[in-house]
């Protein structure tokens, strides 16, 4: 069945996870630790952050987790019990850093524009917050090409659960088989398959082909290869 709509993950798919959040992460962790060097060291440890390369390792919750998971993790490392407040602070700090750190992958605005011209409906589904997704889509010039954006706090659950994809199905009025989810983590691929959508893996994030291929219907290097792929499906 031909595809008619595409749902994109954000980090590692539309923007470079390592160059964006790896770099910003050092700044955010230093800021939220408030001069507590031991607290900063614990954040580095629990987030599997490589200080030498300024990147999160593929095993980090930062790669595909949501603030519901990351907030308590950071709060414990900092010796705080206000988990929701810590989660809000993390989101606020990363959003403040985004304009200075965002590095798009390929040319997402041009790629998405070309897909819209071919009749595809497009959206973003991220385990980041909806506000952050809206902000970063605006920074990358993607807003004119999108008619659906959801985050972990949009009321549809979070990946790997299928709620975000199911919401896109309802939004478009299409069948799940006419929709693809493109992402760089197994969370993305599991969400797609649970919803009955096409699962497309991109190798532009921290995960390897070996990690993703068993869970994907298709594997491409990056979204630059997407127009050719969807034309063949």
What per-residue confidence (pLDDT) applies to 84? Answer: 87
Ordered DSSP codes for the chain: ----EEEE-SBTTTB-HIIIIIHHHHHHHHHHHTT-HHHHHHHHHHTTEETTTTEE-TT-HHHH--HHHHHHHHHHHTT---HHHHHHHHHHHHHHHHHHH--BSS-HHHHHHHHHHTT-EEEEE-SS-HHHHHHHHHHTT-GGG-S-EE-TTSSS--TTSSHHHHHHHHHHT--GGGEEEEESSHHHHHHHHHHT-EEEEESSSSS-HHHHGGG-SEEESSGGGHHHHHHH-
What per-residue confidence (pLDDT) applies to 135? Answer: 98
What per-residue confidence (pLDDT) applies to 97? Answer: 96
Token digits of residue 159: 């990946």
Task: Say whether pLDDT at 64 is over 90.
Answer: no
What per-residue confidence (pLDDT) applies to 179? Answer: 98
Q: Are 120 and 112 in contact (CB under 8 A)?
A: no
What per-residue confidence (pLDDT) applies to 173? Answer: 98
Sort residue 128 into left (φ over 0), alpha (ψ -120 to 50) or beta: beta
What does pTM read for this prediction?
A: 0.94
Token digits of residue 103: 């590095």
Query: Alpha-carbon distance 51 to 114, whole Å?
Result: 39
pLDDT, tens digit, 9 for 90 and up, residues 5-35: 999 999 999 999 999 999 999 999 999 999 9
Q: Give the list of residues 6+ apart from residue 92 with CB closer than 8 angstroms, or none.
A: none
Q: CA dihedral in degrees (50, 53, 54, 57; nearest 10)?
A: -40
Average pLDDT of the chain, as a whole number: 96
Q: How far apart are the first and last CA of the chain?
A: 7
Token digits of residue 5: 């709509």
Query: Alpha-carbon distance 71 to 86, whole Å?
Result: 6
* pLDDT confidence band for 104 (50 / 70 / 90): very high
Domains of the chain, earliest start first: 5-16+104-232 (3.40.50.1000), 18-101 (no CATH)
């Amino acid at each position: 069945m031909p595809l008619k709509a595409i749902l994109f993950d954000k980090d590692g798919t539309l923007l470079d996870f390592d160059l964006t959040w790896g770099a910003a992460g050092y700044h955010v962790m230093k800021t939220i630790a408030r001069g507590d060097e031991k607290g900063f060291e614990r954040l580095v440890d629990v987030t599997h952050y490589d200080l030498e390369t300024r990147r999160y390792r593929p095993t980090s919750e930062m790669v595909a987790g949501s603030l519901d998971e990351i907030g308590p993790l950071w709060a414990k490392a900092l010796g705080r019990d206000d988990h929701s407040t810590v989660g809000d602070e993390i989101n606020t700090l990363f959003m403040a850093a985004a304009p200075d750190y965002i590095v798009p992958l390929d040319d997402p605005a041009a790629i998405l524009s070309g897909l819209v011209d071919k009749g595809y409906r497009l959206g973003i589904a991220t385990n980041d917050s909806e506000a952050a997704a809206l902000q970063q889509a605006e920074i990358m010039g993607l807003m004119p090409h999108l008619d659906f954006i959801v985050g972990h706090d949009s009321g549809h659950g979070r990946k790997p659960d299928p709620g975000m994809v199911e919401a896109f199905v309802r939004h478009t009025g299409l069948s799940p088989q006419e929709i693809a989810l493109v992402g760089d983590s197994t969370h993305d691929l599991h969400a797609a398959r649970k919803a009955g959508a096409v699962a497309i893996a991109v190798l532009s994030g921290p995960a390897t082909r070996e990690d993703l291929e068993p869970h994907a219907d298709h594997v491409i290097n990056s979204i630059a290869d997407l127009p050719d792929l969807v034309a063949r499906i």
